[in-house]
Structure 1
Amino acid sequence: MIATGRWDWSRVDVTVPVRPSTPGVRMAGFRYHDAAPVDITMIPHPLVTLLLDLSEHGVAYDVLGRPAKGNAIVGLHAGPVRISSAGVGEVLQIRMSPVIAAAILRDSDIIGGAVIPLPELWGRRVATLTERLRSTPSWDDRFALAATFLRSRVPRRFGVAPEIAYAWDQTVRTRGRLRIEALAAETGWTRQRLWSRFRAHLGVSPKHASELVRFDHAAHLLAAGRLPADAAVEAGYADQSHLHRRTKAMTEMTPAAVARAPWLAIDEVAWPAT
């Protein structure tokens, strides 16, 4: 997810691990010092997001009128999600590729869904993990605790089919511009089989996955100052109008508003490409 709205990043400390501890899993710690209330809207991102709320006042979410509070999972079909809090607090955010999320969450409805409270999936284990994280002052130690917890959720013999993992990797590599027919041919599956198996394991269709990846690329181009017409062409949209329509459908915002998303301003800090 990337965020829009009023967000003073000069009042936020961002910490990331020296190196990712698990392939396909990225973490970042956010410590917000401003006492002013936080009210932002998160828009779609092509990774599954876990939000571990370490603040005292609690973070509240609202998606399509359904409220949630505290620790939550944001799936691939969330759409715009409004997040609010009383300010001053800490959040550990974890981003996972859908392939890794399939092993950790083991529920395609969650991976491809909207926002659900984490306790609905892991029960009291979440409260125990949160308390341990809150009582641990070092972000490096917090990252290690979270990584250990995630690894403990993976069965010894579980994973998506290699064809699905390959299809996801190719979708990311081509920034969502590889046609489904070509992708199916590369896996050796029929288009129908790839479509059904991809959805069964990752919770979304290959088409939706491609759109998420393509839109993420377009959003970063817009944030970098590219004109909407140029961003549309480079990201694989038919034209500027096509980008505008899809942006409105996915975020309820215009491309110009997405370009001003504060989250994108520190994206390379929180989620370095290396």
Structure 2
Amino acid sequence: MESVSWRPAPPLRAMVAYYHGYRQAGYPPAQHRGLPSPYLTLIITFDDPLLVTAHPDPRQHGGHYRTLIGGLHTRPALITRTEREAGIQLALNPLGVPALLGLPASELAGIDLDAAEVFGPTAEEIRERVGAATTWPQRFAVLDEVLLRLTDQDGCPDPVPEVYQAWRRLISTAGTARVGRIAQEVGWSDRHLANRFRSAVGLSPKETARVMRFDRARRRLQRQAVAGHVAPLAELAAATGYYDQAHLAREFRELAGCSPSRWLAEEFGKVQAGAPAEPEPWPA
């Protein structure tokens, strides 16, 4: 197994939080859960296609994807891991999506698409060039080059300042800041903030905060599994903004579709074999 995380070129960092390259072979097929995250997901494969058996939107049928882009969501995707997997996953900042893709993140909320539906032929260009590269730095350099070419910073308006301020407040606190207080800070009513935020991001501030808290908790749980010591759930709940262990367990069942213990059982074999699946984006 190979697992490599990389920061994009500086001009892209307001739009792309990180790149994560992965390659594995020889593992038996298994189910992987694509969990809710505060970032949109772009996956470029250069080995077997991605097999999605269930999307966050149950109305979407499963299928094979050589490239995939998914918006923010509050339900897991179910992915069948094949014996050979290689690709790069990109975490896209919702408020940077208009400059990168030419559309608001809200248009992709809750759905997965073949990336060609958004990028056109550039999606296949990226896949072919990344697949032809022989090292991870070369592959990441291809992404930098193509994404910088696509970026239209002058032609897209900056995020609404109040929405940007609300997003920064939420992400800097990993979703623990009170949304009512944030509305007061930006000078809007709760309802107006919810409407403007959802139209830009795709989720309301409260939904986004919920996803951020969950994302931080599951990453910590995964790091503990890698280290060989999983702390009691009550400790994890207290450290990540939940009322108690029952609250954390309930959120896991709703957002991951399973209990924390089942998620660890499904994922731990992969985690044990290599580094955590994604870098840690949260403040300490």
Which of 37, 49, 53 is matched with 1:58 structurally? 49
User: 1:50 is paired with a residue of what secondary structure?
Assistant: strand
| TM-score, normalised via structure 2 length | 0.82
User: 1:66 is paired with a residue of what secondary structure?
Assistant: coil
Partner of 1:256: 261
Distance 2:271 2:194 in 1: 31
Distance 1:43 1:120 in 2: 22
Contact 1:51 1:94 in 2 (8 A): yes
- Cα RMSD of the aligned pairs, angstroms, is 2.4
Please give the per-residue CA displacement for 1:91-116, whole angstroms capped at 9, x wherever unaligned. Answer: 11111221222432313344422322
Equivalent residue runs for 1:161-180 within 5 Å: 161-180=160-179
1:162 to partner: Cα distance:
2.2
Equivalent residue runs for 1:80-229 within 5 Å: 80-105=76-101, 106-155=103-152, 156-158=154-156, 159-223=158-222, 224=224, 225-229=230-234
Distance 1:140 1:44 in 2: 28
Please give the per-residue CA displacement for 1:181-208, whole angstroms capped at 9, x wherever unaligned. Answer: 1111222222222111111111110011
User: 1:90 is paired with a residue of what secondary structure?
Assistant: strand
Contact 2:115 2:123 in 1 (8 A): yes
| TM-score, normalised via structure 1 length | 0.85
User: 2:175 is paired with a residue of what secondary structure?
Assistant: coil
Partner of 1:20: 8
User: 1:145 is paired with a residue of what secondary structure?
Assistant: helix
Please give the per-residue CA displacement for 1:200-255, whole angstroms capped at 9, x wherever unaligned. Answer: 11111001110011111222343322212222222222222222222111111102
Equivalent residue runs for 1:15-54 within 5 Å: 15-17=4-6, 19-21=7-9, 22-24=12-14, 25=16, 26-34=18-26, 36-54=28-46
Partner of 2:279: 271
Contact 2:197 2:205 in 1 (8 A): yes
Residue 90 and residue 221 in structure 1: after superposition, are their counterparts in 2 closer, same or farther (change >3 A)? closer
Please give the per-residue CA displacement for 1:106-164, whole angstroms capped at 9, x wherever unaligned. Answer: 13344422322111212222112211211222221221221222233332232311222
Contact 1:61 1:82 in 2 (8 A): yes
Residue 206 and residue 93 in structure 1: after superposition, are their counterparts in 2 closer, same or farther (change >3 A)? same
Residue 103 and residue 257 in structure 1: after superposition, are their counterparts in 2 closer, same or farther (change >3 A)? farther
Residue 272 and residue 232 in structure 1: after superposition, are their counterparts in 2 closer, same or farther (change >3 A)? closer
Contact 2:106 2:200 in 1 (8 A): no
